[in-house]
Amino acid sequence: MTLTDALNRQVPGVQPDSRQNQELSEQLQQSVQKSIYQNSLKLNSRVLFALAGQGNQKSLILVSGGEFVPEIANSFEGETRIVEIDRQSMTIKTCPLTPLNARALRVCFPFAAPVLTGIRRSIGCGDRIGLATPGHIRAVRATGVMPILAQQSIREMTRTQRTAQQVMDDATWGVFQEGFQQGFGSDADHLKSKADIDATLEAGFTMFTIDPGDYVDDQSDFDNSHSLLNKFQALDWKALEYSADDCKRLYADKSFRISDDYQLKISKDELVKAAVKYGRAVIHTTTLFRYLQQRSGGKAFELEVSVDETATPTTPAEHFYVASELKRLGVQWISLAPRFIGEFEKGIDYKGDLKTFERAFISHVRIAQYVGPYKISLHSGSDKFSIYPIAAKHAGELIHVKTAGTSYLEALHALGKIDPDFFEEIYTYSYARFETDKASYHISTSLPQITHPSDISGKNTTDILNDIHCRQMLHVTFGSVLTEKKDDCTYRFRERLMRLLGENEEIHYELLAKHLGRHAAPFSA
């Protein structure tokens, strides 16, 4: 098929097949003198769209027949020129990967925009550098697991100096590059304020994870009964829209038939502690949900509730209280992240007794089925390979696994193969930053456990990243690595890292596909 044939014979809704795409990409490559991502070739209103270039030098190419620029092309900003292809005059518009062009692309090709996830198994693929989406797609494409490709927390955006719009647009370009049309989600993660909602809503996110952790009373697990009762009576019952007595009548000393094999009884003491621990968190979540409803202007969205970043595990009674209270107050959500028993440290496997975890996990799933249904969300889900089979077995479609830092580690893994000396430079810097950067993370690694930079020279990067202590050190220092500047105010590592990964992107994608594929495989439909 020639470019002329493609533009003149386009049938609405019908795209070229893989063989035709190869032919078209070869012809287009000769015309623009740039590499063409074959999977990106798409037709719309007699305009051929393609992603061209490599690494950080990519651009969107629009090709139309004759010297007339079709109306659809006017939605994009870029430079236009007339060329001769197949002895026919054609117009080529070269468009930079700007927010305006990303927005226009999502309108032209809805598959490049996030959609609602719904109640189906899903995996969050956080991307801290903006280059990982093609690798994430390759990891999940054949699994039947719904990928959440635009996912980043406000905390991570702050540490990487990225905006919500950049996170969204980077996912859009990656989806278009791969020609991925199976649908993907987006997650504005760990939102704590109305300002967080405004920024991510404007960027086009479709799922919003509310983190009310600042409103959880961790001391409640250690308070005596007198102190708990005083705190219970002092809760903002007006904001909870009923009274303390109403709450007791609803839950205290009541049994709930959760399933045929599970009955949950909540004593008065358990209720009081649950309300003290999570009551303010329920109020905050409800406030932000209603604000989101107001600001969304009727546009559909999804909510996740995260209570995982707390000092002690969420008991079944506490989970039931939180979910039931949110439902009573009209909050609608599709997933909830409890604080599970055991340790979910960053970047390494689960620490704890698997049988104990399984019993607790089953209880959480049963409650999600009874109150919802909604999904159980595994936060700090990166590399928790020992519990994935348990989660897959008992949760079915009601599971969401959230990963982020592990993809940054795979970027460093790729860097070690591309430029070992530069990897060692980043490792040495991260080692020096570790004591400072670990403060806000839940990890057990200490500096004496980490291989000293003087001892890694010549070592295989894979072996270094398989060491859990080195792994956690590199995991928690990502923000410093990506934002450290030299005396001339240029980035010390970031631009070189991005350039090397871009120039060797297939190495990066291959490692991501393999590693994230291990995360998705246990949940494969």
Which residues are marked as active site?
A: 189, 304
Which residues, including other chains, have CB under 8 Å from residue 369's CB and lie 6 or more apart?
258, 259, 398
Find where tokens 């996110």 sit.
Answer: 205
| Buried residues in 424-434 as b, exposed as e (16+ CB within 10 A) | bbbbebbbebb
Residue type, position 9, single letter? R
- What own/partner pairs with CB < 8 Å and gap ≥ 24 does 492-495 have? 492/429, 493/425, 493/426, 493/429
* Strand-pair partners of 207: 187, 302
Longest dimension (CA), the chain: 88
| Buried residues in 290-299 as b, exposed as e (16+ CB within 10 A) | eebeeeeeee
Q: Are 184 and 160 in contact (CB under 8 A)?
A: no
The rounded distance, in Å, linking the Cα atoms of 327 and 322 is 9
- The interaxial angle of helices 494-503 and 505-520, nearest 10 deg, is 90
Of 158, 157, 189, 184, nearest to 173 by C-alpha is 184
- DSSP labels, 328-360: HTT---SEEE---SSB--TTS--BS-HHHHHHH
Q: Which two tokens stand for residue 204?
A: 């086009």
The rounded distance, in Å, linking the Cα atoms of 167 and 171 is 6
Q: Which two tokens stand for residue 59?
A: 């651009």
Q: Which two tokens stand for residue 136?
A: 């994430």
Instruction: Centre a 10 Å sphere on the Cβ of residue 355 and count the other Cβ atoms it contains.
Output: 9
The rounded distance, in Å, linking the Cα atoms of 178 and 133 is 9
Of 107, 74, 75, 129, nearest to 176 by C-alpha is 107
> What are the Cα distances from residue 209, in Å, to 130, 300, 312, 367?
20, 15, 20, 20
| 244 exposure class (CB count in 10 Å sphere: 0-12, 13-18, 19+) | middle
C-alpha count within 13 angstroms, C-beta hemisphere, residue 391: 28
Q: Which two tokens stand for residue 297?
A: 């202007």
Q: Are 137 and 518 in contact (CB under 8 A)?
A: no
The rounded distance, in Å, linking the Cα atoms of 368 and 246 is 23
